[in-house]
Amino acid sequence: MLKSKVAVQVVSSSMLPEDTIMLGEAYIKQWKMPQGQHIVLKFGAFRQHVKVIPVAKFDGVRISQSLARQLGLASGSMLRAHYRAGDATLVLGPLIGVLVSRAYPDMPDKPFGSITLFCRELVEACAAQGAYVYFFTPSQLDASSATVEGWVYQEGWRMMTMPVPDVVNNRLTTRKLENRPSVQHFMKEVKIRHKATVFNEKFLDKTEVFDALKKDESLVRYLPESHLLRNYTMLKSMCSRYNNIFLKPVRGSLGKGIIRIARSEGTGYQAMFATTAGTRKQHYANLVKLYSTISAKMKTVRYQIQQGLQLIEIQKRPVDFRALVQKNAEGKWKITSIVARTAGSQHFVSNLARGGTLSTVGEAVARSNLQTGVNRSDATQRLQQAALNIARGIDAHIPAHFGELGIDLALDTTGKVWLLEVNSKPSKNDNTPLNDNKIRPSVRMMIQYSRFLSGF
């Protein structure tokens, strides 16, 4: 059985013309490649007619330096290969492009800032799986071209002209960047012109997610009552039905700007504002005064108003759960990791950026104030099942392509599972499994899904 990964050897252009490659004889026989005829060599959007020379007792592919430059490959690269007899094409890959927010060319050791280690991890994981990855930013896009200026790791980070990839993983971290006309045009063009696949192609808004999932009867049980906050009447109605409610910026992340509103023990209402320094509390004599404060913010921020939940707590600190759900080598949603997040002492939101702490689901549930008589042992399984159901619901009801989702869930004190929010750009820190494996399962899974998408 031949290896599915082949080693690429780069030889001097004086020894091998650019339109000729050398390939192990065993591959030529197994694939029944025509002798003495030109075939097409494909790598991402790159295509070129080449002549194939068989080499006995050799299980790699040799290409010239000038061809290697066009492909952006270094000698020793390991790639998957298969031959399509129907259109006489030798396909190398998969070629994966990761769209990141920014690069710092004057910092050669950390060209991508805080995510540089994640990028290196992805490079190593791709090498192990026979894939090839490069990184590019919105400032490097030209939708009319079949190439992209990207960063590769070849004994250090360097800029190369690369073919448009088979798969684009959109890891832009702001809507402002994602909504740039040049970015939107690029993503549209690579899909149409080059048949590339773009996944995690857009941010999700909180109201968009809840409105979409409400259409699915099997998912309604996970959804706290939620609406886009439009007026005072809606605030008054929700506050009359629930002891406390949350206002969440529709486009917020990391717990920024969340407001918790509850009736005061005396009269009036107390609002708790999530800030980086901790929780700021403000008392209002009545809802009208509270709404006038919020309505000033509503001129620039749209809020989702959501039913407050009696979340489980550890020592009076709320606990929620982040499930990282990814598509696997068969294109099916799977749980990669699920962790419990306990809010910091001065906060009512659990994000790590706000001083939250991680633990396993079992540890958190065991230490929590879950009601007596509620089965604690099946909490992990129920949370995982909810996350999978919700991911499938997103796929079914939101017209965009996602390959990974961060799904924030909660348990109330009766053991009921609730959806808090869905993040289509999950942080590569917030969902880290509680171990120190060099290459995280989440990184391996992303490559496996890219292989599935590109036929490798």
CB 152 within 8 A of CB 87: no
Question: CA-based diameter of the chain, in Å?
Answer: 90
Report how far residue 407's alpha carbon sits from residue 420's, in angstroms, rounded to the nearest whole number: 8
**In the predicted model, is pLDDT for residue 210 greater than 80?**
yes
Report how far residue 280's alpha carbon sits from residue 277's, in angstroms, rounded to the nearest whole number: 9
pLDDT tier for residue 349 given thresholds of 50, 70 and 90: low
**In the predicted model, is pLDDT for residue 253 greater than 70?**
no
CA angle 255, 274, 355 (to 5 degrees): 65
Report how far residue 15's alpha carbon sits from residue 84's, in angstroms, rounded to the nearest whole number: 28
The CB-based long-range contact list for 154-157 (8 Å cut-off, 24+ gap) reads 154/74, 155/74, 156/108, 157/108, 157/109, 157/111
* Residue 400 and residue 330 in one domain: yes
SS3 21: strand
* Residue 121 and residue 175 in one domain: yes
Residue 188 lies in a domain: yes
Mean pLDDT computed over 78-83: 94
Write the pLDDT tens digit of every residue in 263-284.
887 788 998 887 777 778 889 9
The predicted pLDDT at position 121 comes to: 92
Number of domains making up the chain = 4
* Residue 418 and residue 326 in one domain: yes
Check which CATH number belongs to the domain holding 29 and give it: 2.40.40.20
List all residues 6 or more positions away from 155 whose beta carbon is below 8 Å from its beta carbon.
74
Residue 105 lies in a domain: yes
Report how far residue 139's alpha carbon sits from residue 127's, in angstroms, rounded to the nearest whole number: 27
Indicate the residue among 60, 93, 126 that finishes a domain. 93
Q: Which two tokens stand for residue 317?
A: 């600190």
The angle, 0 to 180 degrees and rounded to 10, between the axes of the packed helices 379-397 and 206-213 is 90
Check which CATH number belongs to the domain holding 190 and give it: 3.40.50
Write the pLDDT tens digit of every residue in 398-450.
999 999 999 999 999 999 999 999 999 987 654 444 445 578 999 999 999 99
* Residue 69 and residue 143 in one domain: no
Give me the domain span that covers residue 12. Answer: 5-93
Report how far residue 14's alpha carbon sits from residue 32's, in angstroms, rounded to the nearest whole number: 29
Write the pLDDT tens digit of every residue in 43-73.
999 999 999 999 999 989 999 999 999 999 9
Question: Taking the CA atoms of the chain, what radius of gyration do you get in angstroms?
Answer: 26
Residue 440 lies in a domain: no
Mean pLDDT computed over 363-374: 90
* Residue 296 and residue 349 in one domain: no
DSSP-derived secondary structure for 37-55: SEEEEEETTEEEEEEEEEE
Check which CATH number belongs to the domain holding 370 and give it: 3.30.470.20
* Residue 338 and residue 420 in one domain: yes
* Residue 88 and residue 109 in one domain: no
The predicted pLDDT at position 144 comes to: 84
Is the four-CA dihedral 359, 370, 424, 195 of positive or negative sign? positive
The angle, 0 to 180 degrees and rounded to 10, between the axes of the packed helices 232-241 and 287-297 is 130
* Residue 86 and residue 122 in one domain: no
* Residue 108 and residue 181 in one domain: yes
The predicted pLDDT at position 211 comes to: 93
**H-type helices in 72-180, by residue range?**
116-129, 175-178
Write the pLDDT tens digit of every residue in 176-186.
999 999 999 99
